[in-house]
Structure 1
Amino acid sequence: MIRTAFLAFCMSLSAGQVYGDVRIKDVVTFEGVRENQLVGYGLVVGLNGTGDNLKNSPMTRKSLEGMLGRLGVGNLTEESLKTNNTAAVMVTANLPPFARRGAPIDIVISSIGDAKSLRGGTLVISPLTGADGNIYAVGQGPISVGGYAVQGRAASVVEGVPTVARIENGAIVEKEIGFDLASLGSFRMALREPDATTASRIAAAVNSSGLGNARMLDPGTVEVKPSSKTSLVESMASIEQIGIEPDAVAKVVIDSKSGTIVIGSNVRIGEVAVSQGGLTVSVTEKPIVSQPEPITIGETVVVPATEIKVEKKNSGFALLEGPVSLKDLVDGLNAIGIGAQETISILQAIKAAGALHADLEII
């Protein structure tokens, strides 16, 4: 436990030390350069008896009738449609920025009926629409399922989620999203983690590079007007490679389930004295077998016997003379020889005492 806590602290310390120059492209996104979500409805056919029950899934029946009707197969009755090799599915995809017509994209297929598995099926041509209702891609092809389901008369085994599948490059872009980036007079950069200090440093770095005139609009947005020497797209390519030093909020993140603790490099602790004591109670059951004497009347019985041991541990006080840095905090906690779970309790107590100058987030 002690070593686990120590390694967690060392990792957080190392992360803070190498937090030097970071490319602008790694901390911002460019306004307008984004993915668009697509959704569609379709049918998966060719399943080995693991599809929807048509009596319980009327949408599957209607879709199957409509598809066969368009292919010239008409006059279908309820008695003639008893297949369980078809499943109704929702098809989702992300349309990348600047995706051109004919480009392939990945799609995800999810069952919406009572199908047991989509393994071995084939997605029939399914249009994918955007939020505006227009069709931007069309998907079709054999699907790949990561999980499986095996069922017998008395037992069944399910591994993963066999009712969700994926098709790599399973859809083709049919319509492009109109966005002429080169015609813009300026572009905006949105910080992934809004911070006024980081935004100010980005604007200063761009201005000093001579690639454009940048100004901070708010803690999450920096606007750049490219210089007359380069085009807007060329300026974006050059600006995103500029290195800056992002500023981070002082934060302590604790995963109480695994005992993982991550402490940011900007965390500061006021002057506190820390003492951590523990009480260990050990309960051992040692049953004794009692047998009657030879040539006597009696029964063999088991007599319970319980042994209880109580161990007290007191590590004493460790004085942290504030304000202390991350390294001082790590050294102080390691000095009193505690584990990860005890460290979590100490950090919560320091926060309650008002000496932890950082956000404490427990996940």
Structure 2
Amino acid sequence: MRAALIALALLAGLAPAAMADRLKDITSVAGVRSNPLVGYGIVVGLAGSGDGNSGLTLQSLQSLISRLGLTVEASDLNAKNAAAVMVTAELAPFMKEGQVLDVTVSTVGSAKSLKGGTLLMTPLMGADGEIYAIAQGNLIVGGLGVEGKDGSSLTVNIPTVGRIPRGGTVERMVEAPFQDTDNLILNLNRPDFSTAAAVAKAVNEVFGPDVATPIDGTSVAVRAPYDPGQRVTFMGMLENIDVTPDAPAAKVVVNSRTGTVVIGGHVRVTPAAVTHGSLTVSISEDPQVNQSATVVTGDGTVVVPGETTVTPDSTVAATEENPRAFVFDPGVSLASLVDAINAVGASPSDLVAILEALREAGALRAELVVI
């Protein structure tokens, strides 16, 4: 028995920390990020679902054809089989010239569908106005749109947006400071001073003292090797270190559009008494309509009936539920809070009202966030 207990103790010591996360899941490296790209292009080959006589598309077609050595007037063109589109893509970090990326194509005119279309060569620019990729290829459209001559239509998904897998080719690399700095800066996805200190401690336990230094509640500086090959290996080891993030601050998040309420696990309530009740007033209208009858005399004369009269008949009723009260003990936990509110049958709007009242009374030990 003693040997078994010793073995269990050793296994417990070797087991990873509970609720531990890898650094790659809770941090990002400063300067290592993707860059959005955007461009304007033309999709051709549509089956009559294009922009038609849109001035923007006709002008774009005229400019494109003129660059190919032909002279044509915009009035001589018809863009029913073409569409003006915006092309977007994400340039991942460290992508080199010649590598490919996926692009998304979206209409900007009156085109009904991009199904069956082909995107012509489109330069994709970054925020600095420089061209970083070129896009071209056949579109994959998951939506479908049809329209009848009587005006009826049917649309499935979104036929005005398509994708071109591997449709973009990188023409220029974005320089990243990964190899040029003495220290790698790890930025926490959720700023927290305790978590930043825990990250630095975990890194120093693996690589030695003073390798990692917390800068503030968001960033941790880590000394890295100067050799590029060693730096990549070092980063691969670094991002797989397990760290247990500190518990987040107590918050109650309310979605005002959907009525969803999320209560954090560290929310506490000080002693407070809450009374919950509701008053319902209902008004029903049942107007009485009196129509005068047509009268025919003995000699056959028809007497025209009088005007129709409407007599209002309203019924007003008021019902009030018996108010129900509940008391929160000192430091009540999340489970007790939810059970108490559910016991009185509170709706999401009632729950928000109760939480706001508790906050105003100073009894809610949490931040109330409305989104």
1:172 to 166, 169, 189: 169
Instruction: Give unmatched runs, 5+ long, in structure 1.
Output: 1-17
| Counterpart contact for 1:270–1:323, Cα < 8 Å | yes
* Correspondence list, 1:288-327, <5 A: 309-327=317-335
Q: Aligned partners of 1:113, 1:250: CA distance in 2, in Å?
A: 48
TM-score after normalising by structure 2: 0.79
Per the alignment, in what secondary structure is the counterpart of residue 111 of structure 2?
A: coil
Larger radius of gyration: 2
Change (3 A) 1:75 1:340: closer
Distance in 1, matches of 2:158 and 2:198, equals 46
Aligned residues: 342
Note closer, same or farther for the CA distance 1:194–1:305 as it changes in structure 2 (3 Å cut).
same
Distance 2:281 2:79 in 1: 63
Paired residues of 2:58 and 2:78 also in contact (CA < 8 A): no
Cα contact 1:38–1:131 (8 A) shared by 2 = yes
- Aligned-partner SS, 1:231: helix
* Residues 149 and 157 in structure 1, CA contact (< 8 A), matched pair in contact too: yes
1:243 equivalent in structure 2:
243
5+ unaligned residues in a row in structure 2: which ranges? Answer: 1-16, 297-302
**Are 1:191 and 2:199 counterparts?**
no
**Aligned residues with identical type, % of pairs:** 40
| Counterpart residue number, 1:114 | 110
The 1-side partners of 2:237 and 2:264 are apart by 30
Moved over 4 A (4+): 227-230, 282-293, 295-309
Q: Where do residues 1-363 of structure 1 align in structure 2 (5 Å cutoff)?
A: 20-54=19-53, 56-57=54-55, 59-72=56-69, 74-157=70-153, 159=155, 160-179=157-176, 181-182=178-179, 184-210=181-207, 213-226=211-224, 231-241=230-240, 242-282=242-282, 309-363=317-371
Q: Which letter does structure 2 place at the counterpart of 1:127?
A: P
Deviation at 1:318, TM superposition (A): 0.9
Q: How high is the TM-score relative to the length of structure 1?
A: 0.81
Q: Which piece of structure 1 moves more, 42-51 or 318-327?
A: 318-327
How far apart, CA to CA, are the structure 1 residues paired with 2:342 and 2:18? 24
SS at match of 1:329: helix
Structure of greater relative contact order (alpha carbons < 8 Å, 6+ residues apart)? 1
Distance 1:334 1:216, change over 3 A: same
Instruction: Give the AA of the match of 2:107.
Output: S
Which one-letter code corresponds to 2:217 in the other structure? P
Letter in 2 for 1:107: V
Partner deviation per Cα, 1:8-29 (whole Å, 9 max, x = no partner) = xxxxxxxxxx993222222211
Structure 1 vs Structure 2 CA RMSD: 3.4
Distance 1:257 1:284 in 2: 30
CA contact (8 A) 1:135 1:175 kept: yes
